[in-house]
Structure 1
């Protein structure tokens, strides 16, 4: 892709997200979401492959549907209350429609079916943008409107997402689909706590971005997209394979890694709000996700692919990819748990 075109598209991505962040008017927020969608469409279809074009078409249709529902909900709220202000979502119908449309945008269950199929058709770089940056604007809108929504709706979306995200990834052999179901599960953890402690949702989002970025960048470095081909990672780079296994365990929420912090604090908050059954179901759903993370760890670090004496030595293969972003995201995904006391003082 032409560097100038790429610069324009990435600038439009930033502009759309910033516009949504800064707006308190539903029409401006809708414009930001549309700019975001239209900017990533060329990035998704740049490979000119039928699978990429199919994924792009699915993504466009889903996002256009969600944007239309958001605009309709904002219009309905303005019709009932006479204002387009996002903080005055006092119409129950409009609030429910907005949350459902935003859940469709970020791929929450039961509106999640597009997410694995779309992510499977993209390259790893665009998949990273779709899994992280594209979720910022919808989550900002959810953060602003969650207090006016029925708590039962948010709890249902969160529980379904964590369960579907765990079950859906069990039998997958494509890494991008596994990462899609991982994204669905993590979105469920964020949605279920946004009604009680919005700062915890931001903490969970930040740690999710660190961990997912580290995993996507590692897979891009190894150039693997299937579970079976992870076996070639250890001869190429034992150190990177080891840190990737730790990142996977961090995604599963095991201590003493960073991913344990948001899950622990969210379960603590749910127990404090007198929802012990919900917290128990969430913890059990995390075990489902942990299973396929452990399966990836086994394929990457405990399995070595068959090799013959005449083959090339893959551990001497030099990579030309930049590793600074990978190093920073991996460090953040593994070593931020000691900052939990400081985070607690910020979230109280």
Structure 2
């Protein structure tokens, strides 16, 4: 996606809507921020030359409009606090793409390019998840969030097993990571903010690598003769870090949440999250290991790859961040 002046304008409006929704003093202003965020994101994912982003934009608009309609519908029910909060929670979970309202997320991810996927996986999650964190004071809200978290963990782990599209794999991976963030909201704001930061940086590094290499399907990872050893190590470490394999950086937020859940005696949700993380780590390992195993010196000698920006600047930076947990893991334990 090339950034023209129109794209920069809509991107600034998207960020403005997100900030407005997060910092709003009332639910009405939060709804206005969500609508501004929605209406500025639609032009960013439409394309005149390709029908798939336009189809994804239409699906995204219909789903988000349904969520906004639930928010508007909850306004006359403010006198009944339980019904009002329940409808708000369902609307925000729908906008977030959490289970059981998750079915739209993988299909829309499949129709976007990699740059647009970064926005959908990171920036578009900020406002709904912040607003959900304001609702957890209610007891039944906490129970429904635990239910949604367990369901998201199962859907995200099992849904990505038989996928060959990298965008769908990252979509189901995002749903699985969303389960950890929902549980972290019940523990402390510090926990889910740390998790969201690590998830955003690590997943963005993977998407940037796939975008530069123009990888969209699993088979392309080990059929491209121009992939260097540095790029393969960088992408493999990023995938293992996203899966939460110790001692990579992606394990640090999982470690914090596991310790907090054990302290609060949330053993059954913790068991489900750990088992789902192991399943997701399986298809991360499948993506990460094959390019390294099938790369030979003969292939590299016959097809030398030209120097690129990723190899010279971005690869060492992402490589350092993904092994950051190996260098100083104890720093975060004393915060």
TM-score by length of 2: 0.91
Q: Distance in 2 between matches of 1:149 and 1:64?
A: 28
Paired residue for 2:42? 41
Q: Which residue does 1:108 correspond to in 2?
A: 98
How far off its partner does 1:196 sit? Answer: 2.1
Select 1:217's aligned residue among 208, 215, 230: 208
Any gaps of 5 or more consecutive residues in structure 1?
82-90
Structural RMSD (CA): 2.4
Q: Does 1:132 align with 2:138?
A: no
The alpha carbon displacement at 1:39 in A equals 1.0
* Residue in structure 2 matched with residue 50 of structure 1 by the alignment: 51
TM-aligned CA deviation for residue 195 of structure 1: 1.4
| Residue 277 (structure 1) aligns with | 268
Does the CA-based 8 Å contact 1:233-1:241 persist in structure 2? no
User: How many aligned residue pairs are there?
Assistant: 332
* Deviation for aligned residue 1:321: 6.8
CA distance in 1, matches of 2:312, 2:118: 16
Q: Distance in 1 between matches of 2:12 and 2:21?
A: 14
Q: Which shifted more, 93-102 or 321-330? A: 321-330
Residue matched to 1:13:
14
Contact 1:70 1:98 in 2 (8 A): yes
2:305 corresponds to which of 299, 303, 316: 316
Alignment of 1:236 with 2:227, yes or no, is yes
1:256-267 to 2 correspondences below 5 Å: 256-267=247-258
SS in 2 for 1:93: helix
1:198 Cα deviation from its structure 2 partner = 2.2
For residues 185 and 61 of structure 1, the distance between their equivalents in structure 2, rounded to whole angstroms, comes to 23
Q: Report the CA distance shift for 1:344/1:101 in structure 2 as closer, same or farther (over 3 A).
A: farther
**Shift in alpha-carbon separation, 1:314–1:11, aligned structure 2, 3 A:** farther
Equivalent pair of 1:104/1:112 in contact (CA under 8 Å): yes
Q: Is contact 1:247-1:333 (8 Å) kept?
A: yes
Deviation per CA, 1:69-101: give whole Å up to 9, x if none: 123224422xx17xxxxxxxxx11111211211
Q: What is the Cα deviation at residue 109 of structure 1? A: 1.0
Provide the secondary structure at the position in 1 that maps to 2:323.
helix
Q: Which residue of 2 is the match for residue 190 of structure 1?
A: 181
CA pair 15-339 structure 1, distance change in 2 beyond 3 A: farther
Deviates most, 59-68 or 269-278: 269-278
Change (3 A) 1:101 1:326: farther
Cα shift readout 1:271-310 (whole Å, capped 9, x = no counterpart):
11112122112111111101110110123222249x999x
Verify the 8 A CA contact 2:234 2:319 in the aligned structure 1: yes
Q: What's the counterpart of residue 333 of structure 1?
A: 322
Equivalent residues of 2:205, 2:238 under 8 A apart: yes
Matching of residue 181 in structure 1 with residue 182 in structure 2: no
CA distance in structure 1 between the aligned counterparts of 2:217 and 2:148, rounded to whole angstroms = 29
In 1, are the aligned partners of 2:225 and 2:303 still within 8 Å (CA)?
no
Task: Provide closer, same or farther for how the CA distance between residues 242 and 122 of structure 1 changes in structure 2, counting only shifts above 3 A.
Answer: same
